[in-house]
């Protein structure tokens, strides 16, 4: 585990020498003291990224040349697959098979954007038809500049990869600040960058708190773009900081995503996808379908089967065989989730399953998978993101009722619908005000497809070619090709 910041291709102690306790949420033990960056370190990192962008080779390499580095990063991630996955488990708490899946996705993300970097060379410009034949116009794409990237703790290396891979593919340089709760795998990415001899300053990794390291990054005048994933309140601060000098901004924020299950659905399939939609990664998933709407005729049956299956979920240390639900990432998140469950109880909700700390766990931030029913549509637990293994289930009368309830949220990240009627699924999918819609499933995510939210769930899209566009500027080059004089001020 690393105890220095990765700045300008070198490992450096933070100027003020501070550290962050990294805690294993399954044991509550301190497993590492990570370096805590402050303003001075951010300033050095941003200046290194600026020099690498303004006078280094990176933005001037062809896409094909940059792709070689991206593929080398993917290979190194794959080589360290098991070690990285284990670090992720001890840092974040998630079960090992989920962590392995994340690491594979992270490597896949670098490979995918290597391909898109090559495509940039294949399509270097677009000719634009303009309404005057004396002119020719073209559009070219250029790297946007220096990116300040800030990431959350729920998928530590994967959320980092969703930003680093497309930004580097585009030719940008970056200062990355991972979450202070889970800095370990991001620091390993620094070691990988060093091993593959990524030019200095292209990727700088500074661990630290939001206040001491994140905020100075968002306020730094030499940063051109802020790419942020995290909560709505922090996203608002990032946007306000970026507004000072009109930085380009993309935000991937929270959600309270609905899952609408119609009465013609297979109940077993519905229960399985409801569970995958909320208990995967302990429910700490921005797109988690935490509001389940079930059509009245099958409501009771779905709740009953859901509670039976939820009781079977094996809770434990993510490193133990068979664990399907690990601990919550931190004491702070653990307290927040238990407080939300208590509040739901006081507001009149029924705890149909779970609702507290599982029996027999003396340490670790463990919370039972929890099913809540009978909450009102204006209750806190129905409206606000809990970001834990807590699902709210409500009945609905008909399609119009379901769509109204689903869309009645300030968030619009994801939504899911289940029915055997394909036309109905298509109608409801289009009626959802959300950036990601799943039909007859919930959560499967592909690097090739756009990811991002409507309303307060964010601005912009990651992944796919949309993710690359996040890090590119578009320039028009228009030339006057005629021999004749222009003739506006000086008459021929
Ligand atoms: P958070 O907002 O608390 O922190 C996110 C990051 O912002 C961290 O690195 C943190 O250090 C930093 N930060 C905090 N204050 C800052 C400030 N003032 N200036 C700059 N940076 C600051 O979020 P979190 O708890 O790490 O993550 C959970 C949230 O992330 C949830 O709301 C979840 O829905 C969201 N999320 C969204 C997506 C998506 O793709 N839409 C993906 C994962 C997580």
| Domains of the chain, earliest start first | 5-254+457-477 (3.40.605.10), 258-439 (3.40.309.10)
Tokens at 43, concatenated: 């300033």
Nearest CA to ligand 1 atom 16: 210
Are residues 192 and 76 in contact, defined by beta-carbon separation less than 8 angstroms? yes
Nearest CA to ligand 1 atom 15: 210
Ligand 1 centroid to Cα of residue 234, in Å, is 6
Ligand 1 centroid to Cα of residue 209, in Å, is 11
Instruction: Please tell me if the CB atom of residue 166 comes closer than 6 angstroms to any atom of ligand 1.
Output: no
Are residues 217 and 47 in contact, defined by beta-carbon separation less than 8 angstroms? no
Instruction: Please tell me if the CB atom of residue 450 comes closer than 6 angstroms to any atom of ligand 1.
Output: no
Instruction: Please tell me if the CB atom of residue 286 comes closer than 6 angstroms to any atom of ligand 1.
Output: yes
Probe target for ligand 1 pocket from 234, 288, 414, 456, with the most ligand atoms within 8 Å of CB: 234
Probe target for ligand 1 pocket from 25, 152, 155, 160, with the most ligand atoms within 8 Å of CB: 152
Residues 183 and 181: their CA atoms lie apart, in Å, by 6
For the CA of 215, the nearest atom of ligand 1: 19
Dihedral sign computed on CA atoms, order 26, 29, 30, 31: negative
| Residue whose C-alpha is closest to residue 447's, from 472, 460, 465, 459 | 465
Residues 311 and 426: their CA atoms lie apart, in Å, by 33
Instruction: Please tell me if the CB atom of residue 238 comes closer than 6 angstroms to any atom of ligand 1.
Output: yes
Instruction: Please tell me if the CB atom of residue 215 comes closer than 6 angstroms to any atom of ligand 1.
Output: yes
Are residues 396 and 377 in contact, defined by beta-carbon separation less than 8 angstroms? no
What phi and psi values does residue 467 have, to the nearest 5 degrees?
-65, -35
Ligand 1 centroid to Cα of residue 188, in Å, is 20
> What pLDDT is recorded for position 1?
80
Residues 67 and 468: their CA atoms lie apart, in Å, by 13
Beta strands in 318-360 (DSSP E): 350-353
What is the SS3 assignment for 48? Answer: helix
Instruction: Please tell me if the CB atom of residue 229 comes closer than 6 angstroms to any atom of ligand 1.
Output: yes
Cα-based torsion angle of the residue sequence 75, 77, 82, 88 in order, rounded to the nearest 10 degrees:
-170
Ligand 1 centroid to Cα of residue 151, in Å, is 6
ipTM of the complex: 0.96
Instruction: Please tell me if the CB atom of residue 463 comes closer than 6 angstroms to any atom of ligand 1.
Output: no
> Within a 13 Å sphere around the CA of 457, how many CA atoms are in the beta-carbon half?
28
For the CA of 180, the nearest atom of ligand 1: 11
Cα separations in angstroms, 301 against 59, 280, 297, 298, 419:
58, 22, 8, 5, 16
Are residues 218 and 150 in contact, defined by beta-carbon separation less than 8 angstroms? yes
Ligand 1 centroid to Cα of residue 452, in Å, is 14
| Residue whose C-alpha is closest to residue 145's, from 128, 113, 167, 119 | 167
| Residue whose C-alpha is closest to residue 237's, from 251, 221, 257, 222 | 251
Helix (H) or strand (E) holding 187: helix 184-195
| Residue whose C-alpha is closest to residue 61's, from 170, 148, 161 | 170
Ligand 1 centroid to Cα of residue 150, in Å, is 8
Residues 492 and 484: their CA atoms lie apart, in Å, by 9
Cα separations in angstroms, 224 against 6, 18, 233, 393:
20, 28, 22, 43
Contacts by residues 161-165 (CB-CB < 8 Å, ≥ 24 positions apart): 161/105, 161/106, 161/109, 161/110, 162/109, 162/229, 162/451, 162/462, 162/463, 162/467, 163/227, 163/229, 163/462, 164/110, 164/189, 164/203, 165/70, 165/73, 165/109, 165/110, 165/112, 165/113
For the CA of 179, the nearest atom of ligand 1: 9
Residue that has been written with the tokens 């993510």 in this structure: 318
Nearest CA to ligand 1 atom 22: 210
Instruction: Please tell me if the CB atom of residue 175 comes closer than 6 angstroms to any atom of ligand 1.
Output: no
For the CA of 453, the nearest atom of ligand 1: 41
Active-site choice (88, 98, 118, 252): 252
- Intra-chain end-to-end CA distance of the chain, in Å: 74
For the CA of 235, the nearest atom of ligand 1: 2
Catalytic, 252? Answer yes
Ligand 1 centroid to Cα of residue 229, in Å, is 5
pLDDT along the chain (492 residues), means of 10: 95 95 98 98 98 98 98 98 98 98 98 98 95 97 98 98 98 98 98 98 98 98 98 98 98 98 98 98 98 98 98 98 98 98 98 97 97 98 98 98 98 98 98 98 98 98 98 98 96 90
Are residues 229 and 210 in contact, defined by beta-carbon separation less than 8 angstroms? no
Ligand 1 centroid to Cα of residue 154, in Å, is 9
Vertex 310: Cα angle to 103 and 396 (nearest 5):
105
Nearest CA to ligand 1 atom 40: 252
Are residues 244 and 219 in contact, defined by beta-carbon separation less than 8 angstroms? yes
**Residue 21: how many CB atoms within 10 A of its CB?**
13
Residues 295 and 467: their CA atoms lie apart, in Å, by 36
Are residues 35 and 225 in contact, defined by beta-carbon separation less than 8 angstroms? no
> What pLDDT is recorded for position 278?
98
Instruction: Please tell me if the CB atom of residue 153 comes closer than 6 angstroms to any atom of ligand 1.
Output: yes
Nearest CA to ligand 1 atom 12: 210
Q: Would the pTM count as exceeding 0.90?
A: yes
Instruction: Please tell me if the CB atom of residue 445 comes closer than 6 angstroms to any atom of ligand 1.
Output: no
Are residues 289 and 274 in contact, defined by beta-carbon separation less than 8 angstroms? yes
Instruction: Please tell me if the CB atom of residue 230 comes closer than 6 angstroms to any atom of ligand 1.
Output: yes
Residues 254 and 385: their CA atoms lie apart, in Å, by 7
């Amino acid at each position: 585990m690393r105890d220095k910041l990765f700045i300008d291709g070198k490992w450096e102690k933070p100027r003020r020498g501070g550290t962050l306790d990294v805690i294993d949420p399954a044991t509550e033990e301190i497993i590492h003291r990570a370096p805590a960056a402050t303003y001075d370190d951010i300033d050095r990192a941003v200046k290194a990224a600026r020099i690498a962008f303004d006078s280094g080779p990176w933005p001037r390499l062809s896409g094909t040349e940059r792709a070689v580095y991206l593929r080398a990063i993917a290979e190194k991630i794959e080589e360290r697959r098991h070690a990285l996955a284990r670090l992720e488990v001890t840092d974040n708490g998630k079960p090992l098979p989920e962590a392995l899946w994340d690491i594979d996705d992270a490597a896949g993300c670098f490979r995918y954007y290597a391909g898109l970097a090559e495509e940039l060379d294949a399509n270097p410009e677009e000719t634009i038809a303009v309404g005057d034949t004396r002119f020719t116009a073209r559009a070219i794409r250029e790297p946007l500049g220096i990116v300040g990237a800030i990431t959350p703790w729920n998928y530590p290396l994967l959320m980092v990869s969703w930003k680093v891979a497309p930004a580097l593919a585009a030719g940008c340089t970056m200062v990355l600040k991972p979450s202070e709760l889970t800095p370990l795998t991001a620091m390993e990415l620094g070691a990988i960058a060093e091993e593959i001899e990524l030019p200095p300053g292209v990727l700088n990794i500074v661990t630290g708190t939001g206040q001491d390291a994140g905020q100075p990054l968002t306020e730094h005048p030499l940063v051109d773009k802020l790419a942020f994933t995290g909560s709505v309140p922090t996203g608002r601060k990032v946007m306000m900081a970026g507004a000072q000098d009109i930085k380009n901004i993309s935000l991937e924020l929270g959600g309270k995503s609905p899952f609408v299950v119609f009465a013609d659905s297979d109940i077993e399939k519905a229960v399985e996808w409801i569970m995958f939609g909320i208990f995967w990664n302990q429910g700490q998933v921005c797109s988690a379908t935490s509001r389940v709407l079930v059509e009245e005729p099958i409501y009771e049956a779905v709740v009953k089967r859901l509670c039976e299956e939820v009781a079977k979920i094996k809770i434990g240390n993510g490193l133990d065989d068979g664990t399907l639900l690990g601990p919550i990432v931190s004491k702070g998140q653990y307290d927040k989730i238990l407080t939300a469950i208590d509040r739901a109880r006081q507001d009149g909700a029924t705890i149909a399953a779970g609702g507290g700390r599982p029996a027999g766990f003396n340490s670790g931030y463990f919370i039972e998978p929890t099913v809540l029913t009978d909450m009102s549509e204006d209750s806190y637990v129905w409206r606000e993101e809990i970001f834990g293994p807590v699902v709210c289930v409500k009945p609905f009368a008909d399609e119009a009722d379901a769509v109204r309830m689903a869309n009645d949220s300030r968030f619009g990240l994801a939504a899911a619908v289940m029915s055997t009627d394909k036309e109905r699924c298509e109608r409801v999918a289009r009626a959802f005000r959300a950036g990601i819609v799943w039909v007859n499933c919930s959560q499967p995510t592909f690097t090739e497809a756009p990811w991002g939210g409507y309303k307060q769930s964010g601005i912009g899209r990651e992944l796919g070619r949309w993710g690359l566009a996040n890090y590119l500027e578009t320039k028009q080059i228009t030339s006057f090709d005629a021999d004749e004089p222009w003739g506006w001020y000086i008459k021929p």
